[in-house]
Structure 1
Amino acid sequence: MSPIALPQQTAAVLHGAKDLRIEQRPLWPPQQGQCQVQIVSTGLCGSDLHYYMLGRNGDFAIQAPLVLGHEAAGVITSVGPGVLENHPHLVPGTRVAVECGVMCRECKYCHSGRYNLCKSLRFCSSAKTFPHLDGTLQEKMNHPAHVLHPLPDNLSYDLAALAEPLSVLLHAARRAATLSSHYAQNKTVLVLGVGAIGLLACALAKASGATRVCAVDINQDRLDFAKKEGFAESVYCLPLPSKQPAATANNANKDEALKRAKDNAAIALETFGEPDGFDVVFECTGAEGCILMSVFTALTGGKVTLVGMGTSTITNFPLAAAALREVDLIGSFRYADTYPEALSLLGSISKLVTHKYHLRDAQKAFELVAKGRDAEGKMVLKVVVGTEGEEC
């Protein structure tokens, strides 16, 4: 008896740094509790870019070929056993956002609503665990039904893909205040870094009733965009620090970095007319200078939420200043139970997706993200890779 031939599908597979290959892979039927989803849109994020450029993201290096992508939306094409009994709304044809973290659903973190901290969690496109779990840069994927979220009728696939980064901000906002979408009601908010994540932080703050939203970055074009499109009311462009040779990175230079951060904070606060600081500061860069600066831009008794992933250690962190002024430093990692709210908010957010590529041109998409500007000089904010349409 000859074996049954499985249908084939296209996937963008990373084999190493800048070694992205378009391959044909077998398409397996969905298993118990899974849906098969045709992936229509995947947004590229900073971690995807790190894997593409370096073959690793921080401490996590790929150990086997890996499909990247975790900001995704698509449509269910088939369901596995048990899905319709437990999730009767997830019928074929249902448009969904794909939540890419797969938790154990049995540990204390999962039972307490903090499944983002589940020690057994596997995340699509991450090399943290092995075997790796493939991401969404493929035509179709099988995924657990309980982490698929139906889309509002008026929400496009491209915008729905932003539910993932918006979920990061929603979780950070909940950590910074109450379990309410109105966490910023009657508060002033400062956002450090206005890439896609920072712009979403601004949008969320406005939607949550902030009295004022300001932004800081080193890129004037991004700041101009944030102000022009109404994400932030006032902006400040940080001067670029002079680069010190690695051999001279001594204590004097660290003291200088701390002084520079404090001076930059003072100038920014003066520019914004907020001499006492902001109620809530979202640090969305992960850069050491901005992390240091965040403490000095927060109001006494204010909160700093660490959203950006970058610098792993800082030896000259102003811990005494944070402690004496009771500035709360809040860690935030991914998200839990945020997708329904994120999807409901996305209808009011637009103009973040600036470029789109077909799946077969995924490498071009990554190269564009790395450059930051297209051939016409247009700024790159969010690049989406899809299975429908051509490059735009």
Structure 2
Amino acid sequence: MPALPTSTAAVLHGPKDLRLEHRSLWAPGQGQCQIEVKATGLCGSDLHYYLAGRNGDFAIRSPLVLGHESSGIITALGPDVAIKYPHLRVGTRVAIECGIPCRSLNSDGSQRTGKDACKYCSNSRYNLCKNLRFCSSAKTFPHRDGMLQHKINHEAWCLHPIPDTVSYSQAALAEPLSVLLHASRRAGICPPSTYPSLGLAPSSNTSSSHSLAAGKKVLVFGVGAIGLIASALAQELGAERVCCVDINNDRLAFAAREGFTHGEGTGTYCLPLPAKNGATSTEPNPKETENIRRAKENAAKALAAFNEPDGFDVIFECTGAEGCILMSVFCATLGARIALVGMGSPTVSSFPISAAATREVDLIGSFRYADTYNEAVDLLSGSPISREGGKSYQSNGKTHKALFSQKLSKLVTHRYPLNKAREAFELLARGKDENGGVVLKVVIES
């Protein structure tokens, strides 16, 4: 009997214990395709797993392949795929959606109905499905491996064709872009999806030309890759102004230089780190904790720098850091919405609940995405999501106009082959390359 073919994978066994292994490669199962993975972007959750063996509350309990921002090419079809998914064939280039919900299906593939149906999959919120398994996440056990491997078998409905004009590394950005499409819908500035739920064919409806973001001022905390995508998408959706806050001047300079901020005056603010000597704020209010006082002071300084005394209408908190979460409340205008995108501090030691409640500031959770991938591919292909897309911006005294897709392509700053995955993670952890260049999105390519 001939031996099974093998596939190379970068497998995490514990903190910083990343090993290249050769694993048996089985034929794709019912409803699956086999894909040669061409590009996988590394994200913050991957880095947390690599450095600490855990991401927040989710700790690895067995060896795990990381990576979930991926694209590739179909090399084989499982049973019935050609009939059920005629748009997929061997040679089709695809972006890979990595969350696998139950889809209200029984183990034999029949549809569950009535009280047995999954209310989340049935209502286009499959990202909240209780039985969802996400590639490269340790939330569920046994874990489901991610995409840092040469070939994988994956559910056909999760594969989204990409045009030849979109490179594999660009297509890998469909995943983080999906995170922000979903968060923007939760924040009320992005129109509903024009695609039906769970990866079916697109509807005949088109996006409304009316911009939900028109007249809105948007503030983004954190200008890593996710924050920069939040900024670019808010511009694409027609926001009146986009500003950014970070602790890293180099990243802020990149955001300003490449047009990720726009509007009159400065669009960036570098947040000072707390004093190491533990000094407290001036004129303390004994009823306020030190972290609340510091958040209020930092918010006042940022709003003064932006010349936005009334605050911002929509805030994307992309750091997960306690100080930024608290500060976002004081940077919000009356009736604003704060979308919690960053996964960082699991708790905060105190929260300005009165300030949020009396000013009707909505704190909105946002977790992964649902019904976003096809629109993400459209955007990466150069199709505007609204008539406001492709806004002009100022840089070095000149006016520029860049397509959203071109702007996002600038986020891929470094590329490595799979056998250099450890070096790629170490670079991402450092945040700067050997030439002092800023590290934003590191992509593993084959």
Counterpart residue number, 1:175: 186
Q: CA deviation at 1:153?
A: 2.6
Q: CA deviation at 1:315?
A: 2.8
Deviations 1:47-78 (A, max 9, x none): 11111111111121111111100000001111
Contact 2:222 2:244 in 1 (8 A): yes
Deviations 1:299-325 (A, max 9, x none): 101111100111111131001000000
Distance 1:82 1:75 in 2: 19
- Where 1:167 maps in the other structure, the secondary structure is helix
- Where 1:89 maps in the other structure, the secondary structure is coil
Contact 1:190 1:278 in 2 (8 A): yes
Q: For 1:261, which of 268, 292, 295 is the aligned residue?
A: 295
Counterpart residue number, 1:248: none
Q: CA deviation at 1:386?
A: 1.2
Counterpart residue number, 1:279: 313
Distance 1:212 1:139 in 2: 42
Counterpart residue number, 1:40: 38
Runs of 4 or more off by more than 6 Å in structure 1?
251-254
Q: Is the aligned partner of 1:366 residue 2:366?
A: no
Distance 2:16 2:5 in 1: 28
Counterpart residue number, 1:97: 95
Contact 1:97 1:150 in 2 (8 A): yes
Residue identity matched to 1:188: K
Counterpart residue number, 1:382: 441
Deviations 1:238-279 (A, max 9, x none): 11112478xxxxx98981111111111111111111110111
Counterpart residue number, 2:16: 18
Residue identity matched to 1:330: I
Distance 1:254 1:21 in 2: 49
- Where 1:108 maps in the other structure, the secondary structure is coil
Compared CA separation, residues 44 and 253, structure 1 to 2 (3 A): farther
- Higher fraction of helix: 1
CA RMSD of aligned residues (A): 1.5
Q: For 2:229, which of 185, 190, 200 is the aligned residue?
A: 200
Counterpart residue number, 1:351: 410
- Where 2:94 maps in the other structure, the secondary structure is strand
Q: For 1:305, which of 325, 328, 339 is the aligned residue?
A: 339
Q: For 1:142, which of 146, 153, 164 is the aligned residue?
A: 153
Contact 1:254 1:316 in 2 (8 A): no
- Where 1:368 maps in the other structure, the secondary structure is helix
Q: CA deviation at 1:152?
A: 2.5
Consecutive unaligned residues in structure 1, runs of 5 or more? 246-250, 388-392
Residue identity matched to 1:166: L
Q: For 1:235, which of 268, 274, 298 is the aligned residue?
A: 268
Q: For 1:152, which of 163, 186, 206 is the aligned residue?
A: 163
Compared CA separation, residues 300 and 93, structure 1 to 2 (3 A): same
Compared CA separation, residues 167 and 232, structure 1 to 2 (3 A): same
Contact 1:55 1:61 in 2 (8 A): yes
Compared CA separation, residues 241 and 33, structure 1 to 2 (3 A): same
Residue identity matched to 1:318: P
Distance 2:233 2:288 in 1: 34
The TM-score, its normalising length taken from structure 1, stands at 0.94
Q: CA deviation at 1:183?
A: 3.7
Q: CA deviation at 1:212?
A: 0.5
Distance 1:357 1:252 in 2: 53
Counterpart residue number, 2:249: 220
Q: For 1:119, which of 111, 130, 148 is the aligned residue?
A: 130
- Where 1:343 maps in the other structure, the secondary structure is helix
Contact 1:188 1:279 in 2 (8 A): yes
Q: For 2:79, which of 32, 57, 81 is the aligned residue?
A: 81
Contact 2:217 2:312 in 1 (8 A): yes
Residue identity matched to 1:235: T
Within 5 A, what are the aligned runs for 1:182-197?
182-197=211-226
Contact 2:247 2:270 in 1 (8 A): yes
The TM-score, its normalising length taken from structure 2, stands at 0.83
Consecutive unaligned residues in structure 2, runs of 5 or more? 105-117, 193-210, 279-284, 383-404
Compared CA separation, residues 76 and 321, structure 1 to 2 (3 A): same
Q: Is the aligned partner of 1:110 residue 2:121?
A: yes
